[in-house]
Structure 1
Amino acid sequence: MRIVVAIGGSILLKTYDAQRFQEYSDILKDLSNEHEIFIVVGGGKPAREYIGVARDLGAGEAKCDDLGIEVTRVNAKLLLLALGDYAYQKVPHNFNEAQEYSASGKIVVMGGTEPAHSTDAVSAILAEFVQADMLINLTSVDGMYTKDPNKFDDAELISEITATDMMDFIRNQDVKAGTYEFFDFTAIQMIKRSNLETVIANGFEPQNLIKAINGEKIGTRVISD
């Protein structure tokens, strides 16, 4: 299968050490023996902190986005270090480059692309661009909830949802740079129009990536309308 995996920056850099990078590297190396793998890495806390400084300096949202994109590319380079020869050792800056690098037969790792696109959106657009069989989004929660599980004890996990219902759910959410808490609208639009099999799961457990690929019941699965 051709698989696009989005890994939140907060997953990889929660403790600012190499452990999570190494854990994912070991899994991705094994998966690459059977699957064609593209990775999109988010910015996480480092991006949010830099963006906060930029806003304090009076930067507009596009410039804040641009700064966040640079951080995602640094995070991508760290994952490339962990993957070594299993990955193409250059971070693509756009989708054409990502597809070009994949011709090497190696794992492709990228960050953001341009302002106004979160890495969630980048992963969904990339999946459409390369005609992926599956998109897996590894985030800091177990999947999509009825409300923010970090704030509400009665939040319930949604095991399955259509892309249309998900679009309705997130339609009014804030989309400022560095504030994408779950999935942004562009990402869902891509999933809907491509009828793309998508799983959203907790990335703090790297084994969830394997479970999602194997079709195990985990996280939130976005189903066809």
Structure 2
Amino acid sequence: MNDAAQSPKATFKRVMLKISGEALMGDQGFGLHPPTVQRIAQEVKSVHDMGVEICMVIGGGNIFRGLAGSAQGMERTTADYMGMLATVMNALAMQSALEAIGVYTRVISAIRMDEVAEPYIRRRAVRHLEKKRVCIFAAGTGNPYFTTDTAATLRANEMTCEAIFKGTKVDGVYDKDPKKFDDATRYDTITYDDVLQQHLGVMDASAIALARDNNLPIIVFSLDEPGGFRGILAGEGTYTKVHG
């Protein structure tokens, strides 16, 4: 019997996993930490083995962050394009890690670079998902001034995902930073409007509004918790659900 046959039934059929570039750098201050990339790839595989169709968007902040470059005097559009290229590097690293453990993966770039990634064609991407390939969407939306959070929400809607899973350093959304305040309270559920009004920083405002307008739930969970991604899809674990 294979792993998929032994796995519990997943609560979602197709999901978007959004992680930051910083999640790939482990304890380093920058760049890629191969053991961390491999650990996250194993988390993705464990969910893939449940029969779930997976899209991914990975930020680029471990290599270059457009806003930071802009703040240091670089022209914003140029800085954002550099950030988009950083996301492609992260996507290729994750593709390599996933394929090394037997998960077929496609990197799909919003900026054409045919030698290293497929161009974004919605129907082709949907077909990859139907064939149980993991699709990693790179280069954001292909436009400056849009974050990878917004790109993840856009692609999740285009791919008709049932939820966005936002992997973070903490196990949900809190009323204040749990690493600074011992009395921080975690929400089990919270509305899109409350996230926006309280400036809770789950995702940027454009992403939250796009999710709200399309009634796409956001599941915020800890990517540092081993088995957390799979556990939530099996109906367990600790997380916050952002919904209407």
State the TM-score, normalizing by the size of structure 1.
Answer: 0.83
Structure with greater proportional helix content? 1
Contact 1:163 1:223 in 2 (8 A): yes
Q: 2:167 aligns with which of 138, 143, 162?
A: 138
Distance 1:3 1:149 in 2: 27
Count of aligned pairs between the two proteins: 213
Change beyond 3 A, Cα 1:45–1:17: closer
Q: 1:76 aligns with which of 81, 91, 95?
A: 91
The equivalent residue for 2:10 is none
Distance 1:19 1:209 in 2: 18
Distance 1:208 1:99 in 2: 31
Q: Are 1:37 and 2:57 an aligned pair?
A: no
Contact 1:5 1:137 in 2 (8 A): yes
Q: 2:193 aligns with which of 154, 164, 189?
A: 164
The root-mean-square deviation of aligned C-alpha atoms, in Å, is 2.4
Contact 1:8 1:203 in 2 (8 A): no
Matches within 5 A, 1:1-225: 1-15=13-27, 16-33=32-49, 34-48=51-65, 52=68, 55-56=71-72, 58-84=73-99, 86-93=103-110, 96-97=120-121, 99-104=123-128, 105=131, 106-111=133-138, 112-113=140-141, 114-170=143-199, 182-224=202-244
The structure, 1 or 2, with the larger RCO (C-alpha pairs under 8 Å, 6+ apart) is 1
Contact 2:108 2:136 in 1 (8 A): yes
**1:187-211, CA deviations, whole angstroms, 9 ceiling, x for partnerless residues?**
1112211211221011122411112
State the TM-score, normalizing by the size of structure 2.
Answer: 0.77
**Aligned AA (1:109):** I
**Secondary structure of the corresponding residue to residue 198 of structure 2:** helix
Unaligned ranges ≥5, structure 2: 1-12, 112-118
**Aligned AA (1:147):** K
Unaligned ranges ≥5, structure 1: 174-180
Contact 2:61 2:83 in 1 (8 A): no
